[in-house]
Copies of this chain bind each other. A is one copy, B any other.
Amino acid sequence: MSRNLVIVGAGAGGASVAAEARRRDPSLEVTMIERGGHVSTAACPMPYYIQDLIKDEKMLVARTPEEFRESGVNVRLETQVEEVDRRQGIVRLSDGIMVPYDILVLGTGTVPIVPRVPGVDLEGVFMLKTLPDAMAIKTYIREKRCRKALVVGAGFIGLEMCEALRGQGIETELIDLAPRAAMMWDPEFTALIEEELLRQGVKFHPGTGLESIEKGSEYQLRLNSDRDVLEADLVLIAIGVKPNSTLAAAAGLRLGATGAIGVNFSQRTSDESIYAVGDCAEVYHRISCKWTHIPLGDIANKQGRVAGINIGGGAMMFPGVVGARCFKVFDLGVAATGLDENEAAEAGYHPESVLLWGNAIAAAMPGEKKLGLKLVADRSTGRLLGAQAVGLRGAVERVNALSVALAAGMTLEEIGYQDFAYSPPFNTPWDLIHVAAQKLAKSIGR
């Protein structure tokens, strides 16, 4: 008798489970239930689609419902799951239908945080979460010939959207309650980000909140901040997301301290026949050694595959993450990995750090090359704990090499003499990684 695998949510995580589990065990009866009209969509490229660097929304879909159906996966679109009945082993859908499961996977993603101010539901006010959101924004820009946009939230999506909107020729202002953009990065680095915004014609208002949005003349939106009244014909709200774990909570599954669904290394929840993957689930952070919530597409893909392997009869543990993340804002690459000093101290380490400016490529070579690199390490062991990098080139690649070093538990001494492939167009004989690692090793007396 074949087992019923029911997957709730067909984003990167859920779709990965379906593909992997079905490939490993073709006898599985797989049903994927999706609230929206698309499956297997990639959220990360959406700003580039809005910017029209990516022309066709089909490019944001890894696999269509038809392709899933051809491979033998049942796909139910536009269908909400109302309840998980664990005792009976069924999920109840919005249309009243009951779907029995032997194994259930929750890939319910996140919900955007909506500011509690009047006017957020007006036409022309958007959040960017789903493919229809992206399509609606792109259509709105074209149809209304938008000239002036306001972005609320200077996190990485807000910053990417500033670039997208400017790329569409739209005058763009950015507000955030926080005193700086991209608060997860060091002030020296966020200063560079803010310079880049200025250089690209984006006016940034730090420490500025949204009070209300009012509709003025045709397609004009009025917005009250702490200081000013700004006008815009498009408002993009990107102040963060929270894990969509209501279904799991209602079913009595254990949630983690982050509010996301608690899972183990096999992606199993507190109910051994229920898995959770992607942005709705927690993920183990290998440096803080805590379960945390990091809603990123590449993690969702990995968790989905791990769950799919285990469901399909294989054996796989997800080793967790080191906290690697990056984004591009205009010409600037911004990346980080591991822990910052506060997170490190909270985890019980004795953090020390160094922040250096240097060159991404050989000083003698032409072209932009200024690169900033910060390393955080533990004083008692010399172990690397985290890194941040910002620059017109080379930031992401430094952080990714250091992400491997973090996963391996390397010390500053090891990193300070790490063998890298060197050539003047790509880096420097003593890379900024070496210089920073040796300097920090020295300053902690190692």
Contacts and interface: CB of A to CB of B under 8 A. Distances in A.
Contact of A298 (B326, B399, B422): B422
Contact of A45 (B365, B403, B408): B365
Contacts of A405: 404, 408
A298 B429 contact: yes
A364 interface: yes
Contact of A419 (B322, B396, B418, B424): B322
Contacts of A335: 421
Interface residues of A, number: 64
A264 to B, nearest CB: 16
Contacts of A424: 42, 44-45, 48
B297 A328 contact: no
A414 B407 contact: yes
Contacts of A302: 417
Interface in A367-398: 396-397
A96 B181 CA distance: 67
Contact of A323 (B318, B324, B400, B419): B419
Interface in A308-362: 318-328, 333, 335-337, 362
A383 to B, nearest CB: 13
B418 A403 contact: yes
Nearest to A322: B419
A60 interface: yes
A363 interface: yes
Contacts of A401: 397, 400-401, 403-404
A301 B434 CA distance: 11
Contacts of A326: 421-423, 426
Interface string A406-430: 0110100010011111111111011
Interface in A43-74: 44-45, 48-49, 53-54, 59-60
A419 B397 contact: no
A325 B45 CA distance: 32
Given A325-B421, A401-B401, A364 B54 contact: yes
Nearest to A389: B421
A405 B410 CA distance: 10
A247 interface: no
Contacts of A445: none
A296 interface: yes
A421 B400 contact: yes
A365 B48 contact: yes
Given A319-B417, A396-B421, A400-B421, 6 more contacts: A45-B365, A48-B364, A48-B365, A301-B430, A328-B425, A404-B404
